[in-house]
Homo-oligomer: A and B are copies of this chain.
Amino acid sequence: MTAYNAFYAQSGGVSAVINASACGVIETCRRHDDRIGRVYAGRNGIIGALTEDLIDTTPESDEAIAALRHTPGGAFGSCRYKLKDIESHRRQYERLIEVFKAHDIRYFFYNGGGDSADTCLKVSQLAEHMNYPIQAIHVAKTVDNDLPVTDNSPGFGSVAKYIATSVRETALDVASMCSTSTKVFILEAMGRHAGWIAAAGALASEDNDGPPHIILLPEVPFDRKRLMARIDETVKRCGYCVIVVSEGTRYEDGTFLSDAGNTDAFGHRQLGGVAPTLAGMVKQDLGLKYHWAVADYLQRAARHIASRVDVEQAYAVGQRAVECALEGQNAVMPAIRRDSESPYRWSLFDAPLSEIANQEKFMPREFIREDGFGINELGRRYLRPLIQGEDFPPFENGLPKMAQLALRPVERRLPEFEL
């Protein structure tokens, strides 16, 4: 049996565990070197395939590949780039085939979220539409947890654990300062469309009596007056108020809170940042002393506080993707099934990519508290298993040790290509 080569690439916003999936893909390919020759990583996602900018992972030591499991970010570079339709942009697809042919690539593993699943789906169609024998398997990744079909997305559990840990820690800080200083603390979490990440802040307490007292979700229209009344009441009752706000929080009409600064709130433009916008409202309406934090990339890069469940699932979907390819599958994505909640047990199943590409899973209404200021026990029950277990990286000189890759480029065999 001839051994063909594999292409692997990372796409979209990276996460604390996307490299754990890379590790799962590459290690599994190495175990099947009778059927899979070399693993070429695309530099900067699909762009690496189009521009023939390939990295040969073969010279990387087993130790270096193993270290990917505990290294955040995208080791081979990621991209925000979506393939157009085959009909209108045939040349792009011909180019992909040229590159795949030139490097004997017949396995295509694409590691990303919903947009990237669309790219993977289009590549999978090369088989049918352009008669090139490729098997394209998607490897799930998104901190936003908004992929459909799968119970949860690798990458989310770790950012959820980061946010919940940070809320639990900072709430103790605010509680100790509130008698003479800060009364309101606002933490801004990622999630432009779905409130999963902000919702995870709720895990900081066992129930809704403890902090965070308020979570603002994109799924619930923003109501300044109601919110301020709630903050005021919380400070009077508890002495302080901890708020987690999703960056996607918006008004009834869909305007993002962070975009509304021009005409509303302050009468001036905000440079992104829902937390400072909200802090301004707290100052203006209630006159309370506040602090705010914007976690931004900190949250999705925080491999040091990754969820062990998340790391294991990220690795497993990478491993399973290779198995799918070896089984002859195309246009699928290994998805996670929740077999049992307590104790948490999960398994993988192969989901058709057509059901996944370009779709977003929002938080179900039944997870949201009746007052809209957070999630309920049903939501907590869904989230809890995903942050279980620790998987600390090795430390050296007081800091997490990262994978050191040689990233050896593959010699180009084709003319240049304009993107």
Contacts and interface: CB of A to CB of B under 8 A. Distances in A.
B173 A301 contact: yes
Contacts of A304: 165, 169, 304-305
B296 A172 contact: no
Given A47-B180, A168-B399, A279-B271, A173 B300 contact: yes
A150 interface: no
A114 B307 CA distance: 39
Q: How many copies altogether?
A: 2
Interface in A53-86: 71-81
Nearest to A77: B176
A308 to B, nearest CB: 8
Interface range for A: 35 or more
B399 A204 contact: yes
Given A203-B399, A399-B164, A301 B268 contact: no
Among A179, A291, A384, max chain B CB count under 10 A is at A179
Contacts of A203: 398-399
A402 B74 contact: no
Contacts of A399: 161, 164-165, 168, 203-204, 387
Interface stretch (A134-142, A213-221, A228-236, A388-396): A388-396
A132 interface: no
Interface string A280-299: 10010000000111111110
A182 B107 CA distance: 30
A254 interface: no
A263 B388 CA distance: 49
Contacts of A75: 176
A169 to B, nearest CB: 4
Contacts of A161: 398-399
Among A10, A164, A273, A304, max chain B CB count under 10 A is at A304
B297 A185 contact: yes
A17 interface: no
Contact of A172 (B72, B168, B181, B275): B72
Given A13-B177, A271-B276, A301 B398 contact: no
Contacts of A266: 268-269
